[in-house]
Structure 1
Amino acid sequence: MTPLVYAAVTANGVALVDVRRGRGSWHFLDPIGAELWSKAAAGQATDEVVEDLVHTWQLRGADPGQVRADLRRVAAELDRAGLLVSAGRPALRADTPVVRLAGAVGASMRDQIAAQFGLALALVLLRCLPIRFILVAARAASRLPGRPATISDAERLHTAVRRATCAWPGRAACLEESLALHLTAALTGRRVRWVLGASFVPRNAHAWVEAQDAIIGQDAADRVWPYAAALQVEHPN
């Protein structure tokens, strides 16, 4: 069964993205809240988890009453949001992706036409469908015939998508741009990895595309790395 909650796990806590409704919602948990979620989602009784954590923090000198009240509040919030469930997580990676900054790379007329179609499709999907159905469409696109995109392929297509967004009168932020690039790559017989993730310092969500373990087309001025991946859409191999 395809998960409807995904987790970005970091040393600073866990970011959960719930794709059941609308465009999805992000929930950020500090390390203590993350431990509570992890154990409760694995099936341990919530009250038991709370008391275990209260005991741990009492040994460290914390006020048990305050810790218990805080943990019960967090548990109640997670329960109301339906987030005390196991979550999908990206496979562990041995490497750290290289962040490639956006640049002026030549794009052919074929790339430009494909980018226009890719952007239009991305905008229609994002404005008309909940994110969980968009993920279905993105996964279907990743199964189209093609080969893995090289970094140069992806950067060329990213340039074409950027040019297409410049002609679009509305807003095209990271989610629109990255989905458009994912779809454009599929339309031109290339396969990339579409990723949704989050950072904790500052707390922020982001969407991007990877090719050959490189993060494509980022802007130095407004992207604070590293982001931790929560959800990846790519060819199943």
Structure 2
Amino acid sequence: MGRTARRVAWRAHGARAGARARVRQPARRPRGRSVTVPQPHGVACPNCGAPVRFLWAQAVQTTCAYCRSVLVRRDLDLAKLGTQADFPATGSPIQIGTEGQWHDQRFVVVGRIAYGWARGRWNEWHCVLADGTSAWLSDAQLEYAMTIAAPADFDVPAVMQVRVGESYVWNDTPYEVASITEARYLGTEGELPFTTWEKSACLFIDLLNAQHGLATIDGSEAPPVLFLGEYVNFDDLRFQNLREFDGW
């Protein structure tokens, strides 16, 4: 859900993700609608007993940082779905807890899904905006995009009927299908608004418009889900609490 941007080869420095990282000192908070970073609240992991802290009250799935159990919320309890082999490596400076600003709203990164495809891999960072809206930051080879889910009453075509070059109109804006990508789940970390445990393959349809906006149809859901947004420049997001790697 919310996976966006062209599926390009993983950035060349991604292999250095294992390098020891250090956190930058927080910069002065930019002006704009402020984000109230949620106070963590948590329960114990049902597998190892370690504390599991949630930053987002609506989180459905998370992963224990100690034993890597994939956990899902059921009422007030946590249930174990399985165990992740390892957290997927990333060469990105973005991390859980990174803050930024998109237009007039601040946001905080609370989760991540890593995807692979025929020519590489990319990250989708789950973000929570200041108004509580769930958003996605796509991070692929120095190319970034932000999207949010479109209203439920928007017409979304059946994914198997879509072809490259076709056009669709949402919000009175025409979008043209640019690519259709088959991808696979590589792993997750942090808090997500849905569960990914029983999913393996997924289909994404990316569309572009003349105003540099984009749309993504997520075919892993039934019915498929539409996300609308735009490509963004890294510096324009005014990040804080980024990770940096030794030797960079």
- Superposition TM-score tier, normalisation by shorter sequence: under 0.3
Which structure has more relative contact order (CA 8 Å, sep 6+)? It is 2
Higher strand share: 2
Q: Which has the larger radius of gyration?
A: 1
Scaled by the length of structure 2, the TM-score of the pair is 0.24
